[in-house]
Amino acid sequence: MKKIIFVSGIHGAGKGTLCTQLSSVTGLSKYSCSQIIKDNSNYKENNKLVSSAEVNQTTLLHGISTLKDTNFLLDGHFCLLAKDHSIIEIDDTIFTKINPYKIIHVTCNENIIEERLKNRDGYSIDINILKEMQHKETAKAKELALKLSVPIYEHKSGESISRLSDWLKRS
């Protein structure tokens, strides 16, 4: 059985950076949900807006099942932004099937996220949408942790990872 540590947060919150840091400290492999989807489909991302979450999530589940690692970090989202800028909550059954062992939820000041998105992607998302998205992502992370009886660690982007690293090392 795979022990997946799901690292959640909105685009630009710092999930990828955190996964890289944790991977170097713990030796755990790291994967990105979006990269797994791209590697297992003809999905092409032009921006962070999605048209269909369902097909991508089925592709994600298949991609995860083909991974050789049994214990790893998985960088992903509980909510996505639709092309019409509405927020899509990914269906709980996807996470039941992913069956995370632990959840790390990453948050960051929305002004910093806006700046990161501009620098990284060349555009940003309206600050009010970022705030609403982060609020929904956080609520969904807590809700799913409770529903799945999974421990959750809330991490603020840019903070030291020493306590988080210790938390990960405990069963």
Residue 16 has pLDDT above 50, yes or no: yes
Please write the tens of the pLDDT for every residue from 121-130.
Answer: 888 899 999 9
Mean pLDDT, the chain, as a whole number?
A: 91
Q: Which domains does the chain have, with CATH numbers?
A: 3-166 (3.40.50.300)
DSSP-derived secondary structure for 102-132? EEEEEE--HHHHHHHHHHHHS----HHHHHH
Share of the chain above pLDDT 70, in %: 92
d(C-alpha 108, C-alpha 112), whole Å: 7
